[in-house]
Structure 1
Amino acid sequence: MDTQQQTEVAQEMKQLLIRVATHRDKQAFNKLFAHFAPKIRAFGVQRLGQQGLALDLLQETMTTVWTKAHLFNAHKGAVSTWIFTIMRNQCFDMLRKVQHNREDAFGDDIWPLFEDSGSGDGLADHSFTRQLKHQLDKLPPLQRQIVQGVYLQELSQQELAEKLNIPIGTVKSRLRLGLEKLRAHLEKHHD
């Protein structure tokens, strides 16, 4: 596409977005959607690694375009810049949610090591409990405090944050670090 064609497309996109903003023009929105959907989807697949998440990104981005079209300012930039900024922000939000879900689930995959360690006889269970306590004692005090609070005292991360008067993010990061250390040791000595 040459420079003249790019300018014409940019002008057309601007007019379409203005029609969406001022008249809630569904046909104009459909044209915007058809133009930007393949680009947003491709970006989503590349960044999020899953077709389903890429489609969610497309839906979230274009929903935001529809609801916030009145905020577009043609004097500040092109329609494509505005829409791609929305897309990137939505993508960052999705990545944060995915990461948050991974961190919450991280502890779940360490506990089968604890549960499977005993063969049902009390001696193996006792030995493993002793080994676990020994490894907990090796954790840095702040990480140990969080791991024990969440898994032994069965406090939620939010309850622990409030009890210790620290941010929830600090609880999550200490928990993740502590569990990674425990997991590494347990996998090393699990056999």
Structure 2
Amino acid sequence: MDDAADPPLSVEAWLERGARGDERAGAALFHHFYPAVFRLSLGLLNDLPDAEEVAQDTFVYALRNLARFDPQRSAFRTWLFTIALSRCRNKRRRKWLEQLPLEALAGRPPGAPRAVEAALERRGLRRQLWEALQSLPEPLREAVVVRYLGEMRYREMADALGCNAKTAESRVRLGVERLRRYFETAGVDGEQFLAEVTA
């Protein structure tokens, strides 16, 4: 069997080969981890083109810098999420500066979903969830998105968010509690809504 034909299914082996410049290993890492990085980016940005751009930029950076990745410090997925979170923050800052009143002048409310994004709405809940997430302070919003869309454990979250595991857990708990109150104030059963969204 030709070992160079197909990279092994081990992430560690893909990382090792990718650090040596093996493009097939880089492609395997991309295909394996891209969906999670994209979901995280979309959950934080609520903009399909921006989420795609951030996810792709995350991989361009990560694959170019694979030799810098230290598996003793974190899992590869955690490292990717840290890069993606940073890029999402930068994207939001740039977008905020670019979007001053031009959207309002065009007759479109800020943050209105595009047609493609509207098609992605899950049972009509995505818009409500996005609005609720925007009501949270950034540290709580990031924690909730990383936990539920990134499907990370608290220790992994702590590494990605730059805090300890107890702080990550606390941010998720506070964020979910604020989301419940937000929905109940809006006349929606917060418990049921969150159960459907996090299912």
| TM-score range relative to shorter protein | 0.3 to 0.5
Q: TM-score, normalised by structure 2?
A: 0.45
Higher relative contact order (CA 8 A, sep 6+): 2
**Structure with the higher helix share, 1 or 2:** 1
State the structure with more CA Rg: 1
What TM-score do the two structures reach when normalised by structure 1? Answer: 0.47
